[in-house]
A and B are shown apart, each in its own frame.
Chain A
């Protein structure tokens, strides 16, 4: 039995459907990713699953409990790291963690041990007695993460866990998340728009666009399903008919104004392709990434624009200036 199961989960806002009849099954102990651009409905899905937002229709069960009928029991099984800061600024980092330990009814020795552990993890040990008000954006983000990881819930939700963090702390966090999943058999659900993060961490992921699942599977499989390598051509005019005659090309699509070809063993066919298409400006060969997967299924690139409205990045900018 899956540990999380959504049944036609739907959330409508006045004019738009944020989450559209979502059917998902997540197994115990897996790291599951919800990948998609901003506004795809990832956070809304998460907020419904953690019982903070009621669904418009449909429901979900978490650890066997219904999110609508048994929210108290659902809350006992989960932990969440929010995208936005939810620490008290007037309290110190340590006090925020202690508060969390109380709210989650942790025995005091375990609480102190974990506080030490997570503070080390996010490298805030020497700042633990400063008020959160004095923290930079990145530090707040790390504290937030430390707090969510602290009580080792059965199911952990992470909403854009490493947004706005530097690559090094990101690595640390990833390692810790992987360890939690493996050692504690914890189920972890991550929303992210970082392809790299999804690729590296997730056992399986669902690509979400406009509230719907576009495709679901293991990152490796999704990339493999595209059918080989990708050649990307930039040119003013291409002889597409000539390309279509080449039987080993599995797919021809336009990507962001350029042409993408999918084929196996691209390097050995490159010369022939270049011969037939005519004059080109640039060419690129690579193995497919999750970006390509997204592009393939939605016809749009995932990296359109930067994540707007994300507090962490704004704060990062603000703190860099000072």
Chain B
């Protein structure tokens, strides 16, 4: 038998306003219409691994259970295949909501350390930000060294074979106008004159 756990939720476990905030982001509004039918989970290829099914995540967001949602592995398991978004009978853009939740989890440091998926996202972005392009070899190497240094050795075989077939390189690709890109990104960071882009 598993260890018993308290599962009740008290009002104090909610973060009032969280759901409303998420549902005010463009593309996430229709979450309000969720009828909890479970189509999203039914079509999701990864729902079988999730601690909360996509349907449950929708319910938790709507009821302001911020901690449960942002610390759930569900949002990181989403592979952006858009099957849920396409099939949802209420036309809720579930994939976009997952993106929104991922952003919030990163901003608020809600994911487990060394959990590779958010680390990949951040490393990916750092590389794009600095160089304009992704060099897959470097990115993957970095990811493994950061999250599972012990397994990195195990991946060496794959790396060697990729190198042999000319598909792996540690050389960093760069775009020419890196300064331009940096300026664009800087401008996006600046507070906007016409709202924060999420009106």
Partners in one complex: no
Binding site for A on B (CB under 8 A): none
